[in-house]
Structure formats: C-alpha cells, structure tokens
Amino acid sequence: MKLAGYLAHGSAVSDLQDIRDLSADELKHHALAKPVVAEAKARLTLFRVLDDNHRAWSEYLTSLLHPGEVQDDAVVLELERLFLNYLTCANHIRLHFEGSFQQRFRTDGAEQKKYKMLLEQLIQTSWIFAFFLDFRNYLQNQGLGLGFYKRKLTATSVSLELTLNSVELLNTTKDWPRSKLAPAKGILELTGLLRDFHAQMMQKYSGIVIATLFADLPPAAEFYKKLATEVRAKDPRLTMTFRDGETKTVHVPNDLMAELGLATVIKK
C-alpha cells in the first residue's frame, strides 16, 4: 500500500500522486487505528450536532439584529425552540457518554475515579458549566428556559436583551447543588452564558470524553496528521490518501480532530 495524494478538485485515479510505500510499521498502525477512527466518527458526531445547534441559535440571534419589525411572540417561540434544542442535545451528550463509561468501566475502580475527578475539576473551575448542569432541574419545573426578552429598534440601531434573573430562578427551584446559585448573581446575560457553556462542552468536556473513552484517538490522529503533513510537503494542494493496488484508494483522515469538529479540544 502506498502513501499518495490527490488534488482536492478531483479524486480520480489519474489525479493520484504516489509519495512512497507505507512501511510495515505504518501499515500495522493503520490497521490498529481504523476501528478507533470508525468508532470516534460514529459516536463523537454528537458534538458536531451540538455545534450545529449552537450555530442555529447564534445565526438566529444575528438575524434579529438586522433592521426591521418582527413579531415578538414568534421570536420568543423560536428562541425557546432553539434554546431547548441546544440544552437537550447537551444533556443527551453527557448522559450518553456517562452511560457508555459506566458500561465499559463498571468494574474498573481506577477509571471510575479518573472520570469523576476530571468532571469534578471542570465543575469546580467553570461556574457556567456547573450552572447549566443544574439548569436542567429548573427546566423540569418550569418547562421553558428563556427568561427576559427585549428587542429595541431605533432609527440607527437594533439591540437585543436576553437575560435570566437569579432570584426568579431560585424562586422556582432551590436545587442548584453544583453552581450554588445565589441571589447575588443578579441578572445573567443569556447569550454570553450559552456561548461560554458551548465552548466548555466543545473543548473541555469533549476532552474528558476523549481522555476516558477514546484514549487511543489522539495517537491515531497524530499518526494520520504526520503522514498528511508529509504529503503536503510535496505539494500543499494535495489531500492525503492511501493507494491499494493499481486503482483502489483508501480514504483516511488528514486532520482527524478537525474532521470530528473537535480541533480545539483541551487534552486531559
């Protein structure tokens, strides 16, 4: 099997450029990495779904900053829908990977301790992450998550206000064990809160998932990235592939973490 590259505008065999033969060690590494990559693409896609949900939320907020009248009732309904979509997906991700972890390591005390330690570190160092873990209790009582909404339109500007009131949240439920929400937190700006929580999910929580459930993923990503760098050294326009025989090409990741949507993961 050969290390090869092709121009991104076409992947026909005639476009292929052989670089060199893959070594026996590289072929062995590839064989070990294939199931790791396949499982990661199948299961870590949940983070791409989360990212798409956040993008839909952000794009809708941006659209509200364009001049023009809107129907406030319709806007609030759409904001509630997008907000709940995002929070439901985030909670599903956490429950899914916690369940997977318990199933895989139910008899491994050391791994159990490692996961709990990493999660607790994130909760202790990120109030926003802790807040949104607790926020699901509020949703269970309230049903909807959006607090105060106001869109102000003038002749020269459009402003948008989306906030949560700490006192009102506490009046609905006193159950905020992780974030220790207190009245002193006052008015919480929702747009910034969700943006920062999304960064925590995509960078730090995904890092915990990879460290505990996909420990072989970073070495696999580095293996393919190193080969892709070698291919691009021949021609920066080339995309790496493997060629097996005269005509068969084997698709392999060039930048695996980026392809998974997790290029900014903070490794544990």
pLDDT confidence of residue 223: 97
pLDDT > 90? residue 121 = yes
Angle at CA 77, nearest 5°, toward 76 and 81? 115
In a shared domain, residues 162 and 88? yes
In a shared domain, residues 18 and 119? no
In a shared domain, residues 72 and 169? yes
Domain boundary among 192, 213, 234: 213
Domain boundary among 213, 228, 260: 213
pLDDT > 70? residue 12 = no
What is the percent of the chain where pLDDT is above 90? Answer: 75
In a shared domain, residues 119 and 174? yes
Number of structural domains, the chain?
A: 2
Domain boundary among 169, 193, 213: 213
In a shared domain, residues 183 and 268? no
In a shared domain, residues 178 and 266? no
In a shared domain, residues 226 and 153? no
Mean pLDDT to the nearest integer, 124-142 = 91
pLDDT confidence of residue 9: 67
Q: Which residue segment(s) compose the domain that 135 sits in?
A: 45-213
In a shared domain, residues 65 and 184? yes
pLDDT confidence of residue 16: 83
In a shared domain, residues 23 and 129? no
C-alpha 88: how far from chain center: 14
In a shared domain, residues 152 and 207? yes
Mean pLDDT of the chain, nearest integer: 92
pLDDT > 90? residue 93 = yes
In a shared domain, residues 36 and 49? no
Q: Output the DSSP codes for 162-213.
A: EEEEHHHHHHH----TTT---GGG-EEEHHHHHHHHHHIIIIIIHHHHHHHH
Weakest mean pLDDT among 84-88, 174-178, 245-249: 245-249
pLDDT > 90? residue 50 = yes
In a shared domain, residues 98 and 231? no
Among 134, 156, 43, 125, which residue's Cα sits nearest to residue 87?
A: 134
Report how far residue 11's alpha carbon sits from residue 3's, in angstroms, rounded to the nearest whole number.
14
pLDDT > 50? residue 130 = yes
